[in-house]
Structure 1
Amino acid sequence: MAPLLAGLLTGLSLIVAIGAQNAFVLRQGLTRHHVGVVVAICALSDALLIVVGVSGVGALVQEHPVVLTVARWAGAAYLAAYGLRSLWSARRAQVLDPLESRGRGRGRVVTTTLALTFLNPHVYLDTVLMLGSIANQYADGRWWFATGAVVGSVVWFSALGLGARAAAPLLGRPGTWRVLDVVIGVVMLLLAVRLVLG
């Protein structure tokens, strides 16, 4: 049970930090726009990357740093564009209208979720390399560690996406939604700068 608990706590400690993916999941949860799809993609992607890391593929990624370089520049460009779009939205007052977002296509939401997940080199560093390295210290218990990390990911994304609904009444005020757009925009731009600076 020790590897399972260690995996759960380590996985949560890495995933709970505010980032582009978490900000997007929160926004989708608040607008109630394809929340289940977004949560499922994030949790399954994390599970896949954790399994890849525990399987030892992290060493392969480490030997080919060009993969991380490409992901870094593509991720920075995507985050900058997303951040600027959020800041542009913040210039006008708006209220949370869950019905307004329902007309938007699922394909666009899926594409954005996948981009924010796989174009972020920190995902590979944290999930594949770091979690993989820590898990492999448990030898025979490494898959219990991986299971704990996967459970942590599922719990976090479910709580963030589905729990955001409780905050929806607060966002009935235009000023609150404007602040959220500014915060998300600034976070995205800071993450983009951080990626560019390495």
Structure 2
Amino acid sequence: MVAENTVWVFLAGLANALGLIVAVGAQNAHVLRHGLLGRHVATVVAICVASDAILIAAGVYGLGAVLIAAPRVSAALAYIGTLFLWAYGVLALARMVRGGQRLRPESPARASRLVSVTTTLVITWLNPAVYIDTVLVLGRLAESHGAHRLAFAVGAIAGSALFFTLLGFGARRAAPWLARPRVWQGLDALIAGVMFWAGWHLLGSV
């Protein structure tokens, strides 16, 4: 039973991380752009995955310790996180209904590895949304799983690694597929479902 619970919590971490990361944004477009151009892909992907691992660990353990010691703070963050997740889900549904979304990178001039590394770090660490998604929301969700939060953290990190690896190294093969608005409509529907489910789970932990 313990092993079964651990697996489910791992999958919950993976699904929640994917749901938060997959939405089109500056970081994803940056990774996709490097993947399509075949430039410094491994470096860019490694930075994104390592950054997420650090932020997830900080949320799961640093924030988790604070939440255990302060139940009122824990409850407040649960409500904030639930509203954020549901708002995220509503936005995903709106994109699905609106349609027309696609991920098409620009064609920038050739950049050195140093420029690619610097740009990746800036896009990743100076983006306020990453702290809400990765530290606050995932940290609070992990804390709701109690003793299984390590499995949740590992699942979330695995989700990040899976997504960025596929996005960076699979970009060229996936380019025609990613250019189809209907694909993004289906993806947004899936994201919305994950976000609404995560919100209910988070609210139920109060």
Q: Which position in structure 2 is the counterpart of 1:15?
A: 21
Q: Which position in structure 2 is the counterpart of 1:54?
A: 60
| Aligned-partner Cα distance in 2 for 1:33–1:155 | 19
- For structure 2, the 5+ residue unaligned runs are 1-6, 68-72, 74-105, 180-206
| Aligned-partner Cα distance in 1 for 2:137–2:17 | 10
**Aligned counterparts, 1:1-198, within 5 A:** 1-57=7-63, 101=110, 104-167=111-174
| Residues 45 and 139 (structure 1), Cα distance of their counterparts in 2 relative to 1, 3 Å cut | same
The two structures have a TM-score, normalised by structure 1, of 0.62
| Aligned-partner Cα distance in 2 for 1:154–1:166 | 19
What per-residue deviation string (whole Å, max 9, x for no partner) do you get for residues 103-138 of structure 1? x31111000000000000110001000000000111
Q: CA deviation at 1:41?
A: 0.3
Q: Which one-letter code corresponds to 1:133 in the other structure?
A: R
| Aligned-partner Cα distance in 1 for 2:131–2:162 | 20
1:48 counterpart SS class: helix
Q: CA deviation at 1:168?
A: 6.4
Asked whether the equivalents of residues 30 and 167 of structure 1 are also in contact (C-alpha less than 8 Å), the reply is no
| Aligned-partner Cα distance in 2 for 1:120–1:13 | 17
1:55 counterpart SS class: helix
Q: CA deviation at 1:56?
A: 2.6
Q: How many residues align?
A: 135
Q: Which one-letter code corresponds to 1:55 in the other structure?
A: Y
| Aligned-partner Cα distance in 1 for 2:125–2:165 | 19
Asked whether the equivalents of residues 34 and 106 of structure 1 are also in contact (C-alpha less than 8 Å), the reply is yes
- For structure 1, the 5+ residue unaligned runs are 63-89, 91-95, 171-175, 177-198
Q: CA deviation at 1:57?
A: 3.5
Q: CA deviation at 1:169?
A: 8.7
The runs of 4+ residues in structure 1 deviating greater than 2 Å are 56-60, 167-170
Q: Which one-letter code corresponds to 1:23 in the other structure?
A: A
Q: Which position in structure 2 is the counterpart of 1:77?
A: none
Q: Which one-letter code corresponds to 2:49 in the other structure?
A: A
Asked whether the equivalents of residues 8 and 150 of structure 1 are also in contact (C-alpha less than 8 Å), the reply is yes
